[in-house]
Structure 1
Amino acid sequence: MTQHCRHCSTPLSLRFLDLGFAPPSNAYLTPTDLNKPEVTFPLRLLACGTCRLVQTEDYAASDALFTEDYAYFSSTSQGWLDHAARYVDMVVDRFALGPDSHVMEVASNDGYLLKNFVAKGIPCVGVEPTQSTADAARALGIEVVQDFFGMDLAQTLAPADLIMGNNVYAHVPDINDFTAALRATLKPEGVVTLEFPHLMRLVEHCQFDTVYHEHYSYLSLLTVEQMFAAQGLRVFDVGELTTHGGSLRVFGCHRDASHVQTSAVNALLDEEKARGMDTDGFYKSFQARADLIKDDFLQFLLQAKADGKSVAAYGAAAKGNTIMNYAGIRPDLIPFVCDAAAAKIGKLMPGSHIPILAPSELRARRPDYLVILPWNIADEVKAQCSDLAALGTLFVTAVPNLKVFE
């Protein structure tokens, strides 16, 4: 059965990436879950030949992915907390936000960002479907509407001066409904800011491990501009970020709003076109590059085992689950992974069934190699584990190429 583009309805035939079958990347297991069947889904991406939206081929329903025990908490990373605080300072100053403003964050997670608005006395509300993270935000005094964001919910929400969505735009199965809901809840001169991994950087650095079921879409500015325009919105500014291996922050508004478009928009559109993102060829060579990275990582682990070297991993993140399952890595090659998130400790990685332990286990076991799975925070992890380095542990990252370093 032919799948159609979830934005423009064009029949899809251009294959971008096939990672086989895998469980949802954040479906962490308890020991008792090992006695039950584990559900997996196809993890394949297709590119639209018309609007160039890269999207999952077969996807699970969102309520099967973002359950009440969904284990991703944004506040785990200090670097991400700092990023959020800098953003809030910027938008409050740029758009003159104050006590008479109304701010909304979609996918507000555990309150990592909105708490900065609370501290400044700016009224705000979060929209978050996941029970565990919504409860964490409420504990900080943040109002949370616990639901999925879309047109049905938009009819019940107060219009906002600023709507934010960090790493959510790629996570929604009906991206047109989501975009329409942004328009419906935005004041006439309001601003939308969305952050998401940039497809151009994903391909440039072969970041195939950022592919997982929760990411339904992989976005370029070329595509986002089209999706905004279809719903009566326009992009008036864009910034390139280093987060998540290279992200975009787009600034949107109503089509007829007074916000002046900056030169950054056309400059980035021109760069995307210069790299061929409006042609089929850009999307056809990615599979072979991903295969090579997977093979190199697997060969490293097999050689380490043959040499009698001990290996551990840090960061039970979605990135790690993607590469572990794609490469077929199991506890015989990486016996355990450590993570600072209390909600993950004592559980097992989905698919690979690698145990998740507290970071203190690294000091007790002193592995020869420590694989940093969330390579985007490798410097932060290395700094946290400097005592291990002093004892001889070497650090390893697999993407965009295998790297072993002190």
Structure 2
Amino acid sequence: MASVVDLGATPPCESFLAADQLDLPEPAYPLHLRVCTDCWLAQIPPLISPRETFTQYAYFSSYSTSWVEHARAFVDEAARRVGLGPGAFVVEVASNDGYLLRHVVERGVRCLGIEPSVNVGAAAREAGVPTRTEFLSEESGAAVRAEHGPAGLVVANNVYAHIPDVVGFTRGLRALVADDGWVSVEVQHLLTLIEENQYDTIYHEHFQYYTVASAMRALASGGLTLVDVELLPTHGGSVRLWARPAEAAGEPAGSVADVLAREKAAGLRELSGYAEFSARVAKVRRDLLAFLIGAAERGQSVVGYGAPGKGSTLLNHCGIRPDLLAYTVDRNPYKHGRFTPGTRIPVLPPDRLAADRPDYVLVLPWNLRAELTEQLSFVHEWGGRLVFPIPELSIVEVAR
């Protein structure tokens, strides 16, 4: 194993604190990304179990308008590729609050969500999406198949990196899918993480950081073969991996070889591809702190927008506290009145922005730049500006 970047120690990124917890100890865990020089899978140690993180969860996918639209477009694409007729059955693993499967329900297609978090799974059922509360394993996948039959399509979006037992989880996917079915996996692409300084997407919920090459090996461990790849802009750069049971896979599309070649050219199967990343991460930290300190010395107000998991990594790594960032706002009412992990920055409702009219708004979910620039267009009314910290510090006037 070789070091890629050491971000110190941080609390779990979604462990938002209630007011009565502020005087209690708060655990923090090392956050050190390393890469295996054999299989070239980048990873952090599984210091926190998924059961600690996902039994009650603070992230509800439906609060992102663009993410719900992304899910709708995916369902349309899946219907074209796989066929989602009256007899189809779709299973989504880590289905959250039903943001994706609601589009399947609207088509009249039978579906089931498998979601370990009790609170978000309950929200999905309230929205009319059948949801089973449990973690996927080979055994639970076989149990679902025995009860509901095999799925023609199994979806695992933004969960593959969250699993310490990759082999067991992949075997669970294979247990769910029909012998001639399809599995779709979306996961952040290590290539763009490295190229675009997206280090704040490294946090304890993400145990692995995949290239297509390392994902192929992981899928094969459970009997699945990669047959196609799509490059997506989501989360700053993701890959959609289309896989099938090995016996039904056939020849892969040319896109697989194309992306593998891009990864090799970037040096991600040798140490040279990772050599400068840590230095570029340090520059992001220095630039953001210099901006915040300068604004404070000038008497200018800076608040945040959003309280995503990536924000926790950024705030903790930079050592940002309420003296530099007075508060952040978020659309998710679950987080209102709570405080960010480690840095204890208050999380307030979005209407505080218009009430306080800050000079700058630091956008923590920078991956939603287009959506949030539009949502925050009202900031121009008092001359406020938006600040994006990744891939490099960017201060922008909001279009009038």
Q: Same fold (TM over 0.5)?
A: yes
Give the superposition deviation at 1:232: 2.0
**Do the aligned partners of 2:306 and 2:329 also contact (CA within 8 Å) in 1?**
yes
Letter in 1 for 2:28: T
- 1:166 alignment partner in structure 2: 157
Structure 1 length normalisation: TM-score?
Answer: 0.95
Unaligned runs of 5+ in 2: none
Tell me if structure 1 keeps the 8 A contact 2:227–2:249: no
SS at 1:155 equivalent: helix
TM-score (norm 2): 0.96
Q: Distance in 2 between matches of 1:379 and 1:393?
A: 17
Secondary structure at the counterpart of residue 320 of structure 1: helix
- The match for 1:87 is 74
Instruction: Give the secondary structure class of the aligned counterpart of 1:156.
Output: helix
- State the Cα distance separating 1:260 from its structure 2 match: 4.4
Structure 1 SS opposite 2:180: strand
Residues 42, 58 of structure 1: 8 Å contact kept: no
Equivalents in 1 of 2:255, 2:379: separation in Å?
Answer: 43
Secondary structure of 1:71's aligned partner: coil
Taking the TM superposition and a 5 Å limit, the aligned residue runs for 1:259-338 are: 259-338=250-329
Aligned partner (choices 232, 238, 244) of residue 241 of structure 1: 232
**Gap runs ≥5 in structure 1:** 1-11
Contact 1:74 1:112 in 2 (8 A): yes
| CA deviation after TM superposition for structure 1 residue 385, in Å | 1.7
Distance (whole Å) between structure 2 residues aligned to residue 210 and residue 404 of structure 1: 21
- Aligned match of 2:143: 156
- The separation in 2 between residues aligned to 1:48 and 1:102, in whole angstroms, is 37
Where 2:39 maps in the other structure, the secondary structure is coil
Aligned to 1:117: 104
CA distance in 2, matches of 1:209, 1:389: 27
Match of 1:186 in 2: 177
* Structure-1 separation of matches of 2:18 and 2:223: 46
The corresponding residue for 2:11 is 23
8 Å CA contact 1:51–1:223 kept in 2: the answer is yes
Q: Counterpart of 2:395?
A: 404
Q: Report % sequence identity.
A: 40
Q: How far apart are the structure 2 equivalents of 1:19 and 1:66?
A: 23
When the two structures are aligned, how many residues end up with a matched partner? 393
Match of 2:363 in 1: 372
1:191-224 CA-to-partner distances (Å, cap 9, x unmatched) read 0000011000000001000010000100000101
Alignment partner of 2:247: what SS?
coil
1:75 aligns to what? 62
User: Which residue identity lines up with residue 367 of structure 2 in the other structure?
Assistant: N
Q: 2:168·2:222 contact (CA, 8 Å) conserved in 1?
A: no
Q: 1:223 aligns to what?
A: 214
Shift of 1:226: 1.3
Residues 7 and 317 of structure 2 are in contact (CA less than 8 Å); yes or no, is this contact kept in structure 1? yes
Residue 245 of structure 2 corresponds to which residue in structure 1? 254
Aligned partner letter, 1:270: A
* C-alpha distance in 2 between matches for 1:145 and 1:83: 23
Deviates more, 1:229-238 or 1:364-373: 229-238
Specify which of 348, 359, 362 is matched with residue 353 of structure 2: 362
On the 8 A contact 2:97/2:120 being kept in 1, the answer is yes
Q: Which moved more, 1:360-369 or 1:226-235?
A: 226-235
- What amino acid sits opposite 1:75 in the alignment? S
Residue 113 (structure 2) pairs with residue 126 (structure 1) = yes
Which deviates more, 132-141 or 278-287? 278-287
User: Cα 1:143–1:196, aligned 2, differ >3 Å: closer, same or farther?
Assistant: same
4+ residue runs over 3 A deviation: none
* Alignment partners' CA distance in 2, 1:404 and 1:182: 43
Say if 1:58 and 1:155 are closer, same or farther in 2 by CA, change over 3 A.
closer
Alignment partners' CA distance in 2, 1:280 and 1:226: 19
Pairwise CA distance, 1:58: 5.0
Contact 2:243-2:249 within 8 A present in 1 as well: no
Deviation of the 1:259 alpha carbon = 4.9
Task: Give the partner amino acid of 1:83.
Answer: H
Deviation at 1:110, TM superposition (A): 0.2
* CA positional deviation for 1:230: 2.7
Partner SS, residue 4 of structure 2: strand
Show CA shifts across 1:127-146 (max 9, x none): 10001110010001211110
> 1:196 aligns to what SS in structure 2?
strand
Are the counterparts in 1 of residues 39 and 214 from structure 2 also a CA contact under 8 Å?
yes
Which residue does 1:391 correspond to in 2?
382
Q: Secondary structure at the match of 1:25?
A: coil
Q: CA deviation at 1:275?
A: 1.2
SS at match of 2:22: helix
SS at structure 1 position matched to 2:300: coil
1:162 and 1:191 in contact (8 A); partners too? yes
- Evaluate the alpha carbon distance shift between residue 258 and residue 252 of structure 1 in structure 2; reply closer, same or farther with a 3 A threshold: closer
Residue 390 (structure 1) shift: 2.6
What letter corresponds to residue 86 of structure 1 in structure 2? A
Which residue is equivalent to 1:232?
223
